[in-house]
């Protein structure tokens, strides 16, 4: 009987420590999906982007071009969706471009 009680206490403590190890720590940086921003790189710098939308639903996406014109940063991107947009290059040329979700990454914040 005494062995069973000790075994039970041991198993409960092991389970508790495993759960504690998997929980979020207070000092970890946790950003909810609603606040997370996503980005993708452009092959050539562009002057502006217009009509940033999801490919299938045609729903607009709020996004902005970086100062150097090489990245697009999106606020309300839904993961796993292909996007399309119109890019205006410095020489005035306008191209319709698309990006696959495998090229879209979360923005990394440094503390």
Residue 87 lies in a domain: yes
User: DSSP string covering 23-85, please?
Assistant: SPPTTS----TTT--EEEE-SS--SEEEEEEETTT--B--EEE-TTSSEEEESSPPTT--EEE
Which structural domain, as residue segments, surrounds residue 101?
38-106
Residue 60 lies in a domain: yes
Q: Is the pLDDT higher at 77 or at 21?
A: 77
Q: What is the mean pLDDT of residues 7-21?
A: 71
Q: Is 15 helix (H, G, I), strand (E, B) or coil?
A: helix
> Mean pLDDT score of the chain, rounded to an integer?
82
Reported as a pLDDT band with limits 50, 70 and 90, residue 37 is confident
Residue 30 lies in a domain: no
Residue 31 lies in a domain: no
Reported as a pLDDT band with limits 50, 70 and 90, residue 89 is very high
Residue 9 lies in a domain: no
- pLDDT at position 24 is 52
Residue 22 lies in a domain: no
Per the structure, how many domains does the chain have? 1
Residue 10 lies in a domain: no
Residue 18 lies in a domain: no
Q: What is the mean pLDDT of residues 84-110?
A: 89
How large a percentage of the chain has pLDDT more than 90?
Answer: 46
């Amino acid at each position: 009987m005494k062995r069973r009680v000790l075994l039970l206490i041991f198993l409960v403590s092991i389970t508790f420590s495993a759960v504690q190890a998997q929980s979020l720590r207070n000092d970890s940086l946790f950003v909810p999906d609603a606040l997370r921003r996503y980005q993708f790189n452009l092959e050539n710098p562009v002057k502006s982007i217009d009509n940033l939308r999801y490919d299938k639903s045609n729903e607009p996406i709020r996004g902005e071009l970086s100062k150097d014109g090489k990245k697009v940063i999106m606020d309300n991107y839904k993961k796993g969706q292909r996007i399309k947009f119109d890019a205006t290059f410095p020489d005035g040329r306008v191209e319709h471009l698309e990006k696959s979700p495998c090229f879209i990454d979360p923005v990394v914040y440094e503390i």
